[in-house]
C-alpha cells in the first residue's frame, strides 16, 4: 500500500486538495478530524485535558472550548507542549488503526492529511509527500480574511509553523495553490498520473 503524506501551512489551501481526494473516493486519514474525535465528550482525551487545564476550557454543554484553549496555549509554549503530550499519542494511535484498516481492506494507496507533517516527524510514515504551497503574502491575506485576524495576529500564526518554503524543499511533489481551485486540482491529477495512481 502506497502511503502519501499531504501537508501545507495554515491557509495554504490543503483542505481544497483533501476535499478533492475525499470526493474522488481516495482513502484518507485526516489528522485534524481525528484530533477533534479524541477530545469529544466522553473520550479519555477530553478528561485528561480537563485534569491538566481545569474546567475553564469547557463549554456549557461539556464539550471543549477550542477558542479558549487555543488562546491559552498560543501564548504559552509550556502549556502547548503539555496539551501536545496529551493528545498527540492519542491521534497517532488512531491514525495507525485507520492505516491498518485500509491495509486489511487492500487499498492500493492511502493519503495522510497532516497539517504539521514535518513538524510532527511523520516522514517515516509515508512513501511520498505532497505539499500545498502559497506565497507568504497570499497566505497572510487569506488567513486574515478567513479568521478575521489583524496582520500581526495572522503573521504570528504563520510564524508558529515551519515556513512553506522549507516544506517545499522536503516534498516529493508541490501543488502551487496561488491560482484557482481548478488549477490546483489539475496539478494534483498530473501528480497522481505521474505516480501511477488512478
**Comparing C-alpha atoms, which of 76, 190, 197, 186 is closest to residue 127?**
197
CA distance 190 to 88: 33
Query: 101: annotated binding-site residue?
Result: no
Query: 12: annotated binding-site residue?
Result: yes
Query: 8: annotated binding-site residue?
Result: no
3-state secondary structure of 41: coil
Which DSSP letter does residue 58 get?
B
Query: 198: annotated binding-site residue?
Result: no
Phi and psi, residue 62, nearest 5°: 90, 0
Query: 11: annotated binding-site residue?
Result: yes
Give the torsion sign (CA, 177, 170, 33, 188).
Answer: positive
Q: Is 150 exposed, middle or buried (0-12, 13-18, 19+ CB in 10 A)?
A: exposed
Task: Give 169-196 as a DSSP string.
Answer: HH-SEEEE-SS-HHHHHHHHHHHHHHTT
CA distance 161 to 116: 8
Query: 15: annotated binding-site residue?
Result: yes
Residues at the annotated binding site for ATP? 11-16
Residues at the annotated binding site? 11-16
Amino acid at each position: 500500500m502506497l502511503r502519501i503524506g499531504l501537508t501545507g501551512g495554515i491557509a495554504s489551501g490543503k483542505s481544497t486538495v483533501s476535499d478533492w481526494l475525499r470526493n474522488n473516493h481516495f482513502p484518507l486519514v485526516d489528522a485534524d478530524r481525528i484530533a477533534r474525535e479524541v477530545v469529544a465528550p466522553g473520550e479519555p482525551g477530553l478528561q485528561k485535558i480537563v485534569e491538566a487545564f481545569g474546567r475553564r476550557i469547557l463549554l456549557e454543554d461539556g464539550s471543549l472550548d477550542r477558542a479558549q484553549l487555543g488562546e491559552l496555549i498560543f501564548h504559552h509554549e509550556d502549556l502547548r507542549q503539555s496539551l501536545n503530550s496529551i493528545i498527540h499519542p492519542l491521534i497517532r494511535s488512531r491514525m495507525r488503526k485507520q492505516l491498518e484498516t485500509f491495509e486489511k481492506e487492500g487499498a492500493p494507496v492511502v493519503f495522510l492529511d497532516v497539517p504539521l507533517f514535518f513538524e510532527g516527524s511523520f516522514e517515516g510514515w509515508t512513501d511520498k509527500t505532497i505539499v500545498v504551497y502559497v506565497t507568504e503574502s497570499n497566505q497572510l491575506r487569506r488567513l486574515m480574511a478567513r479568521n478575521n485576524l489583524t496582520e500581526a495576529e495572522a503573521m504570528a500564526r504563520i510564524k508558529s509553523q515551519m515556513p512553506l518554503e522549507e516544506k517545499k524543499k522536503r516534498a516529493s511533489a508541490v501543488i502551487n495553490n496561488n491560482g484557482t481551485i481548478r488549477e490546483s486540482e489539475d496539478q494534483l491529477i498530473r501528480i497522481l498520473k505521474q505516480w501511477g495512481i488512478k
